Amino acid sequence: MNVRLYVWQRATAALMLPLVLVHIAVIFYATQRGFSAAEILSRTRGSIAWACFYGLFVAAAAIHAAIGVRNVLSEWSPLKDRSAGLFAILFGLALLGFGARAVTAVVLG
């Protein structure tokens, strides 16, 4: 892993520490109450705060996961660095796309 990727992975990790803690709290809160889809969406739709929170979370997770997958492929698979990097970029872009769609669905609707 080069220095640039190393810094990005550590920076996104540090950024996600509080985000993951809040997300775990949300998981506990939502699952214990057994919310219906309508109850969830009534709390999230139109909320700029949730849009910003999960928008940032998706971006950080996509970058962090893509770099992690690249490292695993480079070290554990027969793929060469260039191919592993290409796969990781595509994976990260897919995560960004699916994540943006999920945030749009839940927050903007």
Partner 1 sequence: MSVSQLNHRSGALWLAAMVHRLSGLALAIFLPLHFLALGLAIDGEARLESFLRWSDRPLVKFAEGGLVFLLTVHLLGGLRVLVIENLDWHDGQKQLAMLAAAVSAVVAFIFLARVF
- Interface residues with partner 1 (CB under 8 A) are 10, 13-14, 17, 20-21, 23-24, 27-28, 31-32, 34-38, 40-41, 58, 61, 65, 68-69, 72, 91, 94-95, 98-99, 101-102, 104-106, 109
What SS3 state is found at 49? helix
Nearest-approach distance from CB 105 to partner 1, in angstroms: 4
Nearer to partner 1, 25 or 80 (CB): 25
**Phi/psi of residue 35, nearest 5 degrees:** -60, 145
Q: How far apart are CA 94 and CA 104, in angstroms?
A: 15
